[in-house]
Amino acid sequence: MEERSFSDIAYERFLSEEKLMGSRCKGCGALFVPPRPICIKCHSSEMEWVEMKGRGELRAFTCISVVPPSMMEEGYGRDNPYCSGVVELEEGPRVVARIVEVDTNKPEEIKVRMPLAAKFLHRGEGEQARTFLAFKPL
């Protein structure tokens, strides 16, 4: 795999390629998603990229109806809250991501521990293009 520094920019570039990548410490094996350049456990800077399978379980979530303008443009708002969750990946790390394809008007139907799969949301074009990590029910 091509060398990329362990930065948010590289992480987002991988997301745009629909890859969920983390960094793994060659010293102690600790795994970080998003990647860190230096291990917080053993302080090693010997890291390698690892691709996550993109499967995980919902650990916590919140449905948000007061949304920033960028989310309003996507149709979210008081009548259509969006869901933000903490997902524990099969590989262990926890990531915060948008939870999609759930009924946010019925949050009681969104279950902690439900299995999820990564989904990549491509937004904007050209210079404005960004990819957001989301998860949907399996």
Interacting residue ranges for Zn ion, rule: CB under 5 A: 25, 27-28, 30, 39, 41-42, 44
CA distance 135 to 121: 10
Our CB check for Zn ion shows the closer of 33 and 83 to be 33
Our CB check for Zn ion shows the closer of 42 and 60 to be 42
Our CB check for Zn ion shows the closer of 1 and 28 to be 28
Burial of 112 (0-12, 13-18, 19+ CB in 10 A): exposed
Output the smallest distance, CB 35 to Zn ion, in A.
Answer: 13
Our CB check for Zn ion shows the closer of 45 and 70 to be 45
Q: What is the CA radius of gyration of the chain?
A: 16
Output the smallest distance, CB 38 to Zn ion, in A.
Answer: 9
DSSP character at residue 69: H
Output the smallest distance, CB 20 to Zn ion, in A.
Answer: 21
Task: Answer yes or no: are the C-beta atoms of 20 and 117 closer than 8 Å.
Answer: no
Output the smallest distance, CB 119 to Zn ion, in A.
Answer: 30
Nearest CA-CA partner of 103 in 74, 61, 73: 61
Token couple for 40: 């917080």
